[in-house]
Amino acid sequence: MWAAAEVLSDFTQVDPDEGQPATERTEIRILYDDTALYVGARLFDRQATKISRRLATRDADGDADRIVVYLDPMHDRRTGAMFQVTASNVQSDGVLYNDTWTDTSWDAVWQSRVTVDAEGWSAEMRIPLSQLRFTGADRQTWGLNIARFIRRNNETSWLQMVPKSETGLVSRMVDLSGFDGLKPARRLELLPYSAGRTEFITPQRSGDPFNDGSRTFGSAGLDMKWGLTSNLTVDATVNPDFGQVEVDPAVVNLSAFETFFPEKRAFFLEGAQILGNFGRLGANDFWGFNNSDPQLFYSRRIGRSPQLQASGDFVDPPRATTILGAAKLTGKTSGGWSLGLLEAVTSEEMARTSTSLVDGRALVEPFTNYAVARVQRDIRGGRAGAGFLTTAVTRRLDRPVARNALAAGSYVFGGDGYVFIDKDKEWVITGDLAGSHVNGSHEAITQLQRAPQRYYQRPDAPQVHLDPTATTMSGFTGRVNLNRNTGLLRVNAALWGVSPGFESNDLGFHTTGDRAGMHVVGIWRNVTPGKILRSRNLWVSKFYTWNFNREIQSDALMSNFNATFLNYWNIGATGFFGRRGLDDRLTRGGPLAENAAERNVNWSIGSDGRKALSFDIGNSYGWNAAGGWNHGLNVNVNIKPADRISLSVGPEWTRSYGFAQYVQSVDDPTATNTFGGRYVFSGIDQWQLAMTTRANVIFTPHMSLQVFMQPLLATGDYKGFKELAQPRTLNFLEYGQGPSTLAFDPLSHTYTADPDGTAGAAPPFTFGNPDYNFKSLRVNAVFRWEMRPGSNFYAVWTRQQQDFSDPGVFSPGHDIRSMFGAPGDDVILFKIAYWIGR
């Protein structure tokens, strides 16, 4: 059959010599039967002994010779699928969307084989029709493109070349016809799993009745995929196992906002390109400068750590909320509608408590239902499109502790769209508009009004007002972008705004509200190789942000230049120049302060990543008019001693001094200059040293061991406690100077400040010593074995140890010894999942 198949062989270089014929001949043949699509690739190479066959984990960049097949089975010229195999038979796959983007979190179940001989190498793929989405018809036409990468030449050649000055992937595919009588296959997959987990946890305090040093858990469940139609898939799960095998990195966060961590759980990753693309259609670049554009759907809210706190001498809270069940519908209809529906239910969670030897239970998370719905459609042949997204979170609040702290219902609804404004589809306008509505008790809504996203209590903000009687809160967010997608000169501009009352954090991710902004970016890209440089890029941007009282919060100019040399080394440099403005978040609910003028410069240099030893070095330095500064140095070294082994070591050092680090706020009617409140700050001297290390040992394309290690030393020394003297300034009154006094009690580790001395009217107040010395070591080792396509066995060991001694004192030698000598927690996990499907 291969001998009778039509041969596709006319490939053109994109890199390194754009437009030139490929240096090596490639032949592609395609066949199909009732159950699968077959792709055969004969990749001739006159230097077959130099074919790179470096091994890697699935979906990783194998740094090897490879062939990539791009398909558009719906022939909508916007969406599709990608299947890649390297010369060592390492697979990668992904979903194509928005014409140019690839989401590799999707894992299809397919087969491939490769072989190497004296004339080159060959690859054969079997892609089951059940893994593809297409409509039934007697005669069909799909989109197709093929890319080949030759590592030693850094050469990429395409069946249908797209010039580097232009964009588009799915829309530029060649037509593949001749699928006579091909019928879509209904997908049915079952994935039962069993998991065992043992924890060895060091008790925080002696006498803990809930922790004798070890505990063991077991679980079993079932995931199911069912092809409702040839284009729509239902994902359902019973007793889901959403445990991730890779730990989140340790961070030190002194801001008022939580840290964002990416999603790593398989159930939520599939279909993420549909549920997570709100406002990201049409354009291929979405720049952001001090951007507060909220994320409407953030899947890590489902199964989150409990939000309420339990009190007692000893407390044993659950680490995560149990997901009782979840179901998802994703896909694209024959009429061009992309659909994404998600429903999940989490259980009520209780913490065990013990006080004076009396055991109890306390609610830490109520029973909650989460729902997400997304529809989107491309129209006029992809020249325009529109969509809608809504999320809903409803809680059963039958206990006062939950009713007073959490919203009963939280809803977000929005629409988005795009339109190309020229016939060549170079210029595109995209936009979105969304609203939110939250309801709950007076206490819960007051807490939301006072949250860092909005700070309704600000005394000099006429656009907001704290209402302790409110039981609802509403707001809006919107954005419009103008983008030139192609050409050597490109433009990106945006205007956006987030009203004070907008709230999406129950099922989204949102930091600063009461904010609007704009930016303009000009980008110059020269990708034609010269005598020295292979490519060079320059962009310059101007941006502003302001609050809804039209007070400028940031006003800055930023520029970057980067270039790649003919030998594939690269350099880059960035400059930031910020003008003086105002800051309505520095006092965390108090009056406006000054945002000092700021400067920052950084540079980087990197070597050829194809070599057995390569590196990247970056250096940055910044300063502001108030006297603050920061200096950072990072190095990343990549070592590839063999095709099966790779090691990455990335030491990073930062040192900074902050002139105004927030400490706390104190109500005081005598503080008339600052609206009846004292806003306490300090200078802060910070050191941070980290060294993230990753080691990969690849035994076969289906068996690997990955080790992640992150030692982190972070110290903060607070110096010179003071209070804001006047709004709209960075003028401070330092305690201990003039009539004010400041005393420290080493036994209780507290400070006592008296703003006007013992004879003054202002009452003294106390605050804890905020100095810190955080020493953390995280180790994560994951053994993965793909027993058969779609079926996996995992063995995972995780160790975390921390030490907080000697706050405010940075002593690397002593801190490293303390870090390695600190007690640690060990977790051992075994999991097996067996795929049953067709």
Residue among 79, 584, 589, 562 nearest 338 (CA): 79
Share of the chain above pLDDT 90, in %: 68
- Higher model confidence: residue 274 or residue 459? 459
- The reported pLDDT for the residue numbered 695 is 95
- The reported pLDDT for the residue numbered 140 is 85
Could you give the CA distance from residue 590 to residue 553 in angstroms, rounded to a whole number?
Answer: 15
- The reported pLDDT for the residue numbered 254 is 60
Per residue in 413-427, pLDDT (tens digit) is 999 999 999 888 889
Mean pLDDT lowest for which of 264-268, 301-305, 444-448, 826-830? 264-268
Could you give the CA distance from residue 473 to residue 444 in angstroms, rounded to a whole number?
Answer: 10
- Segment 579-602 mean pLDDT: 96
- The reported pLDDT for the residue numbered 638 is 95
Mean pLDDT of the chain: 91
Q: Model-level pTM?
A: 0.87
> How many helices and strands, by DSSP H and E, does the chain display?
5, 46
Share of the chain above pLDDT 70, in %: 97
- Start-to-end Cα distance in the chain: 24
Distances (CA, A) of 183 to 135, 228, 230, 837: 8, 15, 9, 18
- The reported pLDDT for the residue numbered 440 is 96
Could you give the CA distance from residue 772 to residue 178 in angstroms, rounded to a whole number?
Answer: 68
- Segment 149-178 mean pLDDT: 89
- Segment 687-714 mean pLDDT: 94
List the domain boundaries for the chain. 12-177, 262-526
Per residue in 241-274, pLDDT (tens digit) is 655 555 566 566 666 667 777 777 777 877 777 8
The residue to which tokens 């704290």 are assigned = 466
- The reported pLDDT for the residue numbered 768 is 95
Could you give the CA distance from residue 99 to residue 822 in angstroms, rounded to a whole number?
Answer: 51
Using 50, 70 and 90 to split pLDDT, how confident is the model at 188?
confident
Using 50, 70 and 90 to split pLDDT, how confident is the model at 763?
very high
- CB-CB contact of 712 with 768 (8 Å): no
- Segment 736-754 mean pLDDT: 94
Mean pLDDT lowest for which of 254-268, 488-502, 758-772? 254-268
Neighbouring C-beta atoms of residue 459, cutoff 10 Å:
15
Distances (CA, A) of 42 to 81, 92, 120, 626: 21, 19, 8, 64
Residue among 319, 331, 158 nearest 244 (CA): 319
Could you give the CA distance from residue 274 to residue 798 in angstroms, rounded to a whole number?
Answer: 33
- The reported pLDDT for the residue numbered 365 is 94
- Segment 803-815 mean pLDDT: 93
H-helix or E-strand spanning residue 266: helix 266-269
Residue among 111, 126, 113 nearest 33 (CA): 126
Per residue in 520-577, pLDDT (tens digit) is 999 999 888 889 999 999 999 999 999 999 999 999 999 999 999 999 999 999 999 9
Q: Has residue 217 got a pLDDT over 80?
A: yes
Could you give the CA distance from residue 725 to residue 720 in angstroms, rounded to a whole number?
Answer: 14
Burial of 177: CB neighbours in 10 Å, binned 0-12, 13-18, 19+? exposed
- Higher model confidence: residue 282 or residue 250? 282
Residue among 806, 585, 600 nearest 716 (CA): 806
- Segment 643-653 mean pLDDT: 93
Could you give the CA distance from residue 298 to residue 451 in angstroms, rounded to a whole number?
Answer: 19
Q: Has residue 641 got a pLDDT over 70?
A: yes
The residue to which tokens 């987030």 are assigned = 498
- Omega cis (within 30) before 500: no
Using 50, 70 and 90 to split pLDDT, how confident is the model at 240?
low
Of the spans 210-219, 439-448, 749-758, which averages the highest pLDDT?
439-448
Rg of the chain on CA atoms, in Å:
29
Q: Has residue 276 got a pLDDT over 80?
A: yes
- The reported pLDDT for the residue numbered 2 is 92
Three-state DSSP class for 104? coil
Using 50, 70 and 90 to split pLDDT, how confident is the model at 167?
confident
Class of domain 12-177: mainly beta
Neighbouring C-beta atoms of residue 737, cutoff 10 Å:
12
Could you give the CA distance from residue 279 to residue 428 in angstroms, rounded to a whole number?
Answer: 13
- Segment 59-73 mean pLDDT: 90
Three-state DSSP class for 224? strand
Q: Has residue 688 got a pLDDT over 80?
A: yes
